[in-house]
Chains A and B, each alone.
Chain A
């Protein structure tokens, strides 16, 4: 924990939006409440996850050191930050980067965070986010404030929420795109952030945008919701819109997204997504997390019924200004170059430059400009490199930087006249690794390095493959060079193994009573056409023999391919049995006594074990919306008391009233599908559903506590004194308690009815 933490709030305040200031103050209060034992473990876990503060491997306080599993005795003692999650154990912070867009100052601040709080590395993820590892939870509010000061949020980066909105990193500069989808991705990301309609999901919800159908960059079809740019003609004029998909996803049970609508006008994508969110929130699975993604709901209902429900929901939604406000700014948001374009790139007599130029430049649709792809091994970049990149971005472009799902960074709008100079400056920063987008550019999830669910070392394998392939890259045939390799540490597919030509995911096998790290081999996935098809498993091979698998399969493809045949088509033509026969012998191993090499994983000398696998937090904690609202109400009451202590009477009373409103919303959610924000409507609904029916009435106090809320709502113009603020807090506390009691009574009644029903039948 940093000694400077208490001082960052004031320092960052001027640069932060009021909304984020409030949001982070809330989080800090929740941390204090948890430390004082006033917040439930599951609720706190979900609340920190929704702020991007994720668990990390060994945070249950146990680790197998190669000999046996030992306790990690942290000084915090029994204090936890979630079920089975020790407070002091290092964690991960996921930072949302909508559509991968970054500017120079943001790069610098990400570097500062990596150095001061993490291990010096910022990690680009397979969904364009940035992750910092080995973070102390106590430092997270400061990090979040420093990021917020430069317009970056971690809000809803994890947990059961709308995750980072990803998009094609070439949008706006791609010659094949229908139009630049950037402003639409931006609008959706910030419209849904913290939106009340997106707070009651059973699992995460991942959106993606693509500017075209055929290229892979947007990967729309493997997302929960996806948008592909489309234009139609209306009254002789072109109208922008999107093909809208829903219900895709990878994971253990991959699904291709279904077409929800062939054309959604641009002004309609925000409300329609909101309608999808409402249907998902209302009907999606909440208890069985293995069936809680929207893909299962779409499966269960069928796309026709799902579409009908979305339309029905859309028809009753109250309009929101942000649905269309952004449309007038679309043109203004288009990027411009800093320097004049140039017809040609100067030829340099340098083989290294030539190799880099061949793979790491992308020809923009705008004449005279290229995008420079900065290849990051395993997505890792140092703070010094981030600063150098910021300098280059300022000097040669208008800070037009994007992160990619291939875990690289792209510098857009580089004039061809400047390519040689940019190369030299990137070279000084050791950022000119060639082979971007080729077989060398292996991507990987964190795997056993830091992930609680990792089975095998995906990063270890990816590093090994990368190194071996780089050594041979000059000799690789073009058909091999263009293959895509992706590695995941487990079946959850964070590395995207399903959509690679050669995909691998971590599994374990027991051989002669010893656990051995393996990878399941997945062949023939389709990276193009927005992840158009998923590969199929060929069997598990020991981790240390995967490089041989790559050698054999690429050699076989080279020798046996027909003219113009893709790897995917080759696998299909030759057949699974024939392909499997080429690698089957690799599954046998020498005994443990003969050669222990195979019994440990890449980059980790410990004897392999599955004992370190923990409980993942990918699914978040299933906490009901009621519990969330009531927890927020209690936090507000705590804050109100602090304000009263500081003699801030009016703010204290207002905060206490807000706690009542929040608790009311929670209670209403038990009866009403979509709870709005309009106070008179909330009061009316509370009166009709709970008060007039006496459902809220306490057996002893009757309607007294409910009346507190109705009276307070009717008297909002009151000027509060110490005495009235004090009373308001007391009444609010009693009201919040009464909400809890009401929910308990209703649950008991439901249980009794269920039991009675079961007995009767």
Chain B
């Protein structure tokens, strides 16, 4: 079997930030008009009514980009839909960089502006494929070096700390603490 090829990255919103989800809908629609991302952007899905749900999603062909509310922790989620045929370290770097691009656009004056701020001390990886990457200690240990390499490529050397979600029914979900933080 191949290695995992659908890596999601969630960059958390800073606790002090105030996110207006209705405005986010408008922003995402304008991105479709202006073709602001390097993806075929299709539509916007509105799940504001779902507590701790997917929030507002910009549906793309290669990925979904959302202001996600899962676990009660708002963040920008990059949810990969099409296959990335590359080593996991490269996928990690690519997912982080794409998500950072989205976050920079969201922080723009024509988007959410100063109300949008990222928490720069941690992020989350979710491997979106239970068969290729089950949520167990062995898979986590196997993939950790690639995650580290991807993080180093994106943010440089740090003593990254990884914590795996323990519920085996969940997808492999790893929260990473960045002691030196990152620059959005």
Q: Does A88 contact B (CB under 8 A)?
A: yes
B59 touches A8 (CB 8 A): no
CA distance A202 to B4 in the complex (A): 44
From residue A224, how far is it (CB to closest CB) to chain B in Å? Answer: 32
Q: Does B164 contact A (CB under 8 A)?
A: no
A1 touches B29 (CB 8 A): no
Would you list which residues of chain B between 41 and 55 have a CB under 8 Å from chain A? 42-54
CA distance A404 to B64 in the complex (A): 30
A63 touches B43 (CB 8 A): yes
B1 touches A1 (CB 8 A): no
A134 touches B46 (CB 8 A): no
Q: Does A425 contact B (CB under 8 A)?
A: no
Q: Does B97 contact A (CB under 8 A)?
A: no
* Partner-contacting stretch, out of A67-75, A193-201, A690-698: A67-75
B: which residues have CB within 8 A of A?
Answer: 1-2, 4-6, 25-26, 29, 32-33, 40, 42-54, 57, 59, 61, 64, 70-71, 79, 81-83, 128-132, 167, 169-171
B52 touches A11 (CB 8 A): no
Residues of A with C-beta under 8 A to B6: 2-3
B83 touches A65 (CB 8 A): no
Task: Select which of A72, A73, A115, A384 is within 8 A of B128 by beta carbon.
Answer: A115
A: which residues have CB within 8 A of B?
Answer: 1-4, 7-8, 11, 57-58, 63, 65-67, 72-75, 88-90, 108, 112, 115-116, 119-121, 133-134, 136, 377-378, 380-382, 384, 387, 430, 433, 449, 459-460, 463, 466-467, 603-606
From residue B21, how far is it (CB to closest CB) to chain A in Å? Answer: 10
Task: Select which of A58, A75, A449, A603 is within 8 A of B42 by beta carbon.
Answer: A58
B129 touches A3 (CB 8 A): yes
Residues of B with C-beta under 8 A to A65: 29, 32-33
Residues of B with C-beta under 8 A to A449: 45-46
B46 touches A88 (CB 8 A): no
Residues of B with C-beta under 8 A to A112: 130, 169
A4 touches B42 (CB 8 A): no
The total number of A-B Cβ pairs within 8 Å is 115
CA distance A576 to B6 in the complex (A): 57
Residues of A with C-beta under 8 A to B1: 4, 7
From residue A146, how far is it (CB to closest CB) to chain B in Å? Answer: 9
B42 touches A90 (CB 8 A): yes
From residue A54, how far is it (CB to closest CB) to chain B in Å? Answer: 16
From residue A750, how far is it (CB to closest CB) to chain B in Å? Answer: 45
Residues of A with C-beta under 8 A to B128: 115-116
Residues of A with C-beta under 8 A to B167: 387
Residues of B with C-beta under 8 A to A11: 131
From residue B53, how far is it (CB to closest CB) to chain A in Å? Answer: 5
From residue A604, how far is it (CB to closest CB) to chain B in Å? Answer: 7
CA distance A116 to B50 in the complex (A): 18
What would 5 A/B residue contacts be, using CB atoms closer than 8 Å? A67-B33, A75-B40, A108-B169, A119-B45, A119-B47
B42 touches A63 (CB 8 A): yes
B61 touches A75 (CB 8 A): yes
CA distance A75 to B48 in the complex (A): 31
Residues of B with C-beta under 8 A to A116: 128-130, 171
Residues of A with C-beta under 8 A to B46: 449, 459-460, 463, 603
Interface centre among A89, A112, A115 (most CB of B within 10 A): A115
* Smallest Cβ-Cβ distance to B29: which chain A residue: A605
A72 touches B40 (CB 8 A): yes
Residues of A with C-beta under 8 A to B48: 463, 603
Residues of A with C-beta under 8 A to B26: 605
A88 touches B70 (CB 8 A): no
Residues of A with C-beta under 8 A to B83: 1-3
A4 touches B129 (CB 8 A): yes
Residues of A with C-beta under 8 A to B170: 387
A466 touches B49 (CB 8 A): yes
B54 touches A382 (CB 8 A): yes
* Smallest Cβ-Cβ distance to A460: which chain B residue: B46
Q: With contacts A88-B61, A119-B45 known, what are 5 further pairs, Cβ within 8 A?
A: A7-B131, A108-B169, A119-B79, A382-B70, A449-B46
CA distance A120 to B40 in the complex (A): 20
CA distance A684 to B33 in the complex (A): 64
- With A3-B83, A7-B1, A382-B54 known as contacts, the answer to whether A72 contacts B42 (CB < 8 A) is yes
A121 touches B129 (CB 8 A): no
Residues of A with C-beta under 8 A to B33: 65-67
B53 touches A380 (CB 8 A): yes
* Smallest Cβ-Cβ distance to A135: which chain B residue: B81
B53 touches A121 (CB 8 A): yes
Across the A-B interface, the 7 shortest Cβ-Cβ residue pairs: A430-B51, A3-B5, A4-B131, A377-B49, A120-B54, A65-B33, A605-B26
CA distance A351 to B152 in the complex (A): 51
Residues of A with C-beta under 8 A to B70: 120, 382, 384
* Smallest Cβ-Cβ distance to B133: which chain A residue: A4
B50 touches A58 (CB 8 A): no
From residue A676, how far is it (CB to closest CB) to chain B in Å? Answer: 42
B54 touches A119 (CB 8 A): yes
CA distance A121 to B132 in the complex (A): 22
* Smallest Cβ-Cβ distance to B55: which chain A residue: A120
Residues of B with C-beta under 8 A to A384: 52, 70-71
